[in-house]
A = this chain, B = another copy of it.
Amino acid sequence: MEISYKSAGVDIDKADAIKENIKKIASGTLKSIVIHGVGPFAAVAKLPAGFIVATCDGVGTKIAIAQEFNRIEGLGYDLVAMNVNDILAMHGKPLLFLDYIGVPNLETINIEKLISSIASACIEADCSLVGGETAQMPGFYEKNRFELVGFCIGIVKKLPQKNKISEGDVILAFPSNGPHSNGYSLIRKLIEEKLINPEDRLKRDKLIDVILRPTRIYVNDFFEIVKEFGYPKASANITGGGIPGNLSRIIPEKMTAAIDKKSLEYLSENFADGIFSHISRFVPEKEMIKVFNMGAGFVMIYPKKKAQIILEKMKGKVFKIGSIEKWREEKVVIE
């Protein structure tokens, strides 16, 4: 008896063909710093001097909902956004991106469609798609699910200065456009339980639009502010763990970020199409705040005076959600 790799569920020839297409799609994202993009054993780039930042993130179970509604084309954008926003939280400029796609087999999804979505987000974030891996994993995934993981490298001119944060500093936020890529196991559960699936067809489609809307990329808006007003003292990307989980990572010992609940209510109702207000009918408030960004997608800490100027000049684009106060037994208080 003779056994081949293909009979074991792995198609090398098809993988090679897809790889050629990926190369073509990715080549449209390459900046001049890239010496070798997709193709060789590792990508090569010449970075300008400075500190390097690196991060890794996935899209999580948003994949499942996207598959169920046959709209996977936004997931690549989500993947890039989740990673570049983390780079941004360290005040880095995203430069290189690599992706990992794990599939049961090469028929599961249109891989080129995903890569195109990754590439368009890379262009948006001014980042080069330089490599990745597509792995055929027979017997690993349930019901044709797949995995989508990203890695991003950036450079930082000026690192965040958490130790410069002081009482009176103001916490500003860019509004989010939805739950980004966090809390989707919970959202899935709500859909399964038919809690957020109103009968009204139009309403439901709108809801799915908001739920599946790709994560906002904050790179350009962040650097626009930096260019005009200088770097924040520190920043946080609001992902899993919500505002308390993520903001607490940048608050110095013995200081408290006091978040104005009303400002979150305002953002929740007026941005992201009110999705958070909608979901909060079924999920306890405490849980909402731990899981979702509540309309505050990316957060920056500025000295009070500078914050006031930013708020004036960037009206409607940046919002105040709180300020730094003396220690109140918790790093983040929302009230």
Tell me how far the C-beta of A261 lies from the nearest C-beta in chain B, rounded to whole angstroms. 19
Copies of this protein, total: 2
Considering only residues 245-260 of chain A, those with a C-beta below 8 Å from chain B are: 245, 249
User: Chain B contacts of A54 at CB under 8 A?
Assistant: 42-43, 45, 96, 98, 130-131, 151, 153
Please determine whether B35 and A55 come into contact, CB atoms closer than 8 angstroms. no
Interface residues on A, range: 35 or more
Please determine whether B58 and A138 come into contact, CB atoms closer than 8 angstroms. no
Assess whether A2 is interfacial by the CB under 8 Å rule. Answer: yes
Tell me how far the C-beta of A20 lies from the nearest C-beta in chain B, rounded to whole angstroms. 13
Q: Which of B10, B58, B283 contacts A4 (CB 8 A)?
A: B283
Assess whether A314 is interfacial by the CB under 8 Å rule. Answer: no
Q: Which of B8, B100, B186, B195 contacts A189 (CB 8 A)?
A: B8
Known: A2-B284, A130-B54. A42 touches B86 (CB 8 A): yes
Known: A135-B60, A139-B64. A42 touches B282 (CB 8 A): no
CB-CB nearest in chain B for A49: B49
Interface of chain A, main secondary structure: mixed
Please determine whether B44 and A131 come into contact, CB atoms closer than 8 angstroms. no
Known: A142-B141, A190-B3. A51 touches B46 (CB 8 A): yes
User: Chain B contacts of A63 at CB under 8 A?
Assistant: 140
Assess whether A208 is interfacial by the CB under 8 Å rule. Answer: no
- Scoring A residues 27 to 61 as 1 if CB is less than 8 Å from chain B, else 0, what string do you get? 00000000110011111111101011111111011
How far, in angstroms, from A54 to B233 measured CA to CA in the complex? Answer: 30
Among all A-B residue pairs, the 8 with the closest Cβ atoms = A41-B89, A42-B55, A8-B189, A151-B151, A42-B53, A56-B98, A41-B86, A8-B185
Please determine whether B60 and A137 come into contact, CB atoms closer than 8 angstroms. yes
Q: Which of B87, B130, B141 contacts A42 (CB 8 A)?
A: B87
Please determine whether B282 and A3 come into contact, CB atoms closer than 8 angstroms. yes
Tell me how far the C-beta of A233 lies from the nearest C-beta in chain B, rounded to whole angstroms. 14
How far, in angstroms, from A88 to B2 measured CA to CA in the complex? Answer: 35
Please determine whether A46 and B52 come into contact, CB atoms closer than 8 angstroms. yes
- Knowing that A4-B284, A41-B55, A41-B87 touch, tell me 18 more A-B residue pairs with CB under 8 angstroms: A4-B186, A4-B283, A5-B290, A12-B245, A40-B90, A40-B249, A41-B86, A42-B90, A42-B154, A44-B51, A54-B131, A55-B98, A57-B133, A61-B140, A102-B147, A140-B147, A141-B142, A141-B145
